[in-house]
Structure 1
């Protein structure tokens, strides 16, 4: 049975981008990147907000003909389907990608229930809608050892989720990982 997953890399104080919109401090080192690649292998579809989709556009044409970590991730990304939720984009031209105007959590929940592979919801705004709707099954939280003091929060305010810790890890560079199941 497929799961709806939310994976995010954030500052220690919980932001995916700082107040200026920058997130270069969140770039994973080789150890973290390889770990993320392994997590993403089972994802068959990515549900993305517009901003995340634009950030990830590089991976649509990134080289796949090598053995490096980046080549591996490009293969993972390019092999998956993508659904982009945006009211401002007029079209998407990347492969295996469809455009939806509005996020319907009921339809997304049905999609996940019928999926053969895991589905990932990405971008804090879209993920917040899925979390509020109660359709996210697991959260994978990477925390980078930096405090940015404000910006775009990785998790929404105004909700409560009871979670069960499934896995955790500390990486050599100080980044931590914790994976939680949402208790229903």
Structure 2
């Protein structure tokens, strides 16, 4: 059985996008980039929302990226090796190989996918991750906390959910980024009173 892991970059005040929708404030660093690639090597399937999928698809559709360095080539090959499932009601078609388009997020289907998986899965995109959190499907949360305060925007973690976390690992990078790896407690993943249910 595979774990479902939420991996994301967040500002120190907890946002994955600023108020303009920008997320280009991540500090570049080879050590950080190589570490991220190592995490993804254990992943067999990426679950994406439309916007994040379109941002990541360039690692297959733009061959010039991989040609820039060995590090970028390693990331591109790692990303291309995994299967992808994209959840979108507006995307007409996918542009990458081994990619399936789904019109809605079905928690029961994702649970079956986890049960049958021989490797881990990741969920990406705050809106999609919120649905996975609310369905109790997320097993681990890995945050790359960036040394910047953006003052507002799209939260990296869902609201309306209270959960106990166990810190499994942490790492500091030269560029000021801190990686935090948590396990979610299954018995504590309960919506707060008045929280919206999964659509």
TM (norm. structure 2) is: 0.89
Which of structures 1 and 2 has the bigger CA Rg?
Answer: 2
Per-residue Cα deviation, 1:138-161 (whole angstroms, up to 9, x for no partner): 000010000001111110111011
Q: Provide the rounded CA distance (Å) in 2 between the counterparts of 1:51 and 1:23.
A: 12
Q: Give 1:66 shift.
A: 7.7
* Residue of structure 2 equivalent to 1:59: 59
Q: Provide the rounded CA distance (Å) in 1 between the counterparts of 2:98 and 2:67.
A: 19
Secondary structure class of the residue paired with 1:25: coil
Q: Does residue 110 in structure 1 map to residue 101 in structure 2?
A: no
Q: Give 1:109 shift.
A: 1.2
Contact 1:83-1:98 within 8 A present in 2 as well: yes
Report which stretch shifted further, 17-26 or 60-69.
60-69
Equivalent of residue 147 in structure 2, options 142, 145, 148 = 145
**Residues 1:46 and 1:171: Cα distance change in structure 2 (over 3 Å):** same
Secondary structure class of the residue paired with 1:26: coil
Contact 2:57-2:95 within 8 A present in 1 as well: no
- Which structure 1 segments of 5+ residues have no match? none
Q: Give 1:93 shift.
A: 2.7
Q: Provide the rounded CA distance (Å) in 1 between the counterparts of 2:124 and 2:27.
A: 16
Equivalent of residue 156 in structure 2, options 144, 154, 157 = 154
Per-residue Cα deviation, 1:80-100 (whole angstroms, up to 9, x for no partner): 100000000111131111100
Q: Count the aligned residue pairs.
A: 184
* Residue of structure 2 equivalent to 1:17: 17
4+ aligned runs moved over 3 Å, structure 1: 62-67
Q: Provide the rounded CA distance (Å) in 1 between the counterparts of 2:130 and 2:58.
A: 24
* Residue of structure 2 equivalent to 1:128: 130
Secondary structure class of the residue paired with 1:24: coil
- Which structure 2 segments of 5+ residues have no match? 187-199
Contact 2:132-2:138 within 8 A present in 1 as well: yes
TM (norm. structure 1) is: 0.96
* Residue of structure 1 equivalent to 2:99: 97
* Residue of structure 2 equivalent to 1:88: 90
Contact 2:61-2:95 within 8 A present in 1 as well: no
> RMSD of aligned C-alpha atoms?
1.3
Q: Give 1:65 shift.
A: 6.3
